[in-house]
Amino acid sequence: MDKTVVQDILLLKNKRKITMLTAYDYPIASLIDKAGIDMILVGDSLANVVLGLESTTQVGMWEMLHHAKAVTRAVKHALVIGDMPYDSYQVDPDASVKNALRFINEAKCDAVKLEWFDKCIQVTEGIVKAGVAVMGHIGLTPQTADKIGGFKVQGKDAEAAQRLIEQAVLLEKTGCFALVLECVPDKIAGMITGMLKIPTIGIGAGQYCDGQVLVINDMVGLFERYKPKFVKQYINLAPQIQKAIENYKNEVLEGKFPAAEHSFTIKKEELDKLER
Ligand code: KIV
């Protein structure tokens, strides 16, 4: 399978659904890529599901690039998107182009994603002009959740839904190649999807989007702090890993591990020589 480029993703609209998952490290990115997922997002959800932080605003460029590099080392097929951390474009919009280019040049990502905020269009325009493919993100935008009423479904009344539609249209015009819709009523997501030429990728946005994304740790049961309604857990790994660790501990304490097959030997004559 060839490496996926932005144009491949655009061509999937109205052909088949687009698949996307997050990844933060080499082994998981390898598995996702081997499964043929179209896009991998090195999400700033890294903060919550990997680093044990409360807010995505607590990760910066250093952490994001570190993990993005591990992911791109593993990926042969999927389009890899680096999620721009809060302080890389919202705190200092003037630094946004330089930071977006770091995801491409240093971490070898294919695109970047950034969340809607008051200077989103200006920042997106600059990054697109610099030749970097941008994925937009509207609806529930965790980096600014405090400004939009918390971690709640967005666009629930006509006025709020109209605002989301306007943001989507503006982002398409500004040159985004795709749009994440997070926690948006399914019919509103469907309206936006129908209005745009670029694909929409939903998370908590229902079945009418062009594609879907989930946080990998949520879908495999490796994040136990909370479980949003939109998550479907396809496997529950945490109890299985817990059991394996307990088994290991008990076997070490009981002297059952390591067994002969896990040990190395020395020839008897060498041992005799040593003992003499
Ligand atoms: O950081 C992330 O994981 C995301 C997805 C929820 C789209 O932005």
The pLDDT tens digits of the residues spanning 172-224 come to 999 999 999 999 999 999 999 999 999 999 999 999 999 999 999 999 999 98
CA of 239 to the centre of ligand 1 (A): 25
Most informative mutation of 40, 51, 56, 117 for ligand 1 (most atoms within 8 A of CB)? 56
Q: What is the DSSP string of the chain?
A: -PPP-HHHHHHHTTTS-EEEEE--SHHHHHHHHHTT-SEEEE-TTHHHHTS--S-GGG--HHHHHHHHHHHHHH-SSSEEEEEPPHHHHTS-GGGHHHHHHHHHHTT--SEEEEE--TTHHHHHHHHHHTT--EEEEEES-GGGGGGTTSS-----SHHHHHHHHHHHHHHHHHT-SEEEEES--HHHHHHHHHH-SS-EEEESS-TTSSEEEE-HHHHTT---S---TT---S--HHHHHHHHHHHHHHHHHTT-SS-GGGS----HHHHHHHH-
Torsion of CA 152, 156, 159, 163, to 10 degrees: 60
Decide if 182 is catalytic.
yes
Does residue 226 have a pLDDT over 90? no
Q: What pTM, to 2 d.p., does this model score? A: 0.96
CA nearest ligand 1 atom 4, residue: 43
Percent of the chain with pLDDT over 70: 100
Query: CB of 213 closer than 6 A to ligand 1?
Result: yes
Report all structural domains of the chain as residue ranges with CATH numbers, in order of start: 6-235 (3.20.20.60), 240-275 (no CATH)
Query: CB of 180 closer than 6 A to ligand 1?
Result: yes
The pLDDT tens digits of the residues spanning 77-136 come to 999 999 999 999 999 999 999 999 999 999 999 999 999 999 999 999 999 999 999 999
**Choice among 63, 115, 172, 182 that is catalytic:** 182
Nearest of 139, 129, 199 to residue 167 by alpha carbon:
139
Res 1: pLDDT: 80
Let me know if 272 is exposed, middle or buried by CB neighbors in 10 A (0-12, 13-18, 19+): exposed
The pLDDT tens digits of the residues spanning 146-158 come to 999 999 999 999 9
Band (33; pLDDT cuts 50, 70, 90): very high
**Closest approach atom of ligand 1 to CA 44:** 1
Query: CB of 221 closer than 6 A to ligand 1?
Result: no
**Closest approach atom of ligand 1 to CA 213:** 7
Residues 81, 29: Cα–Cα separation, whole Å:
12
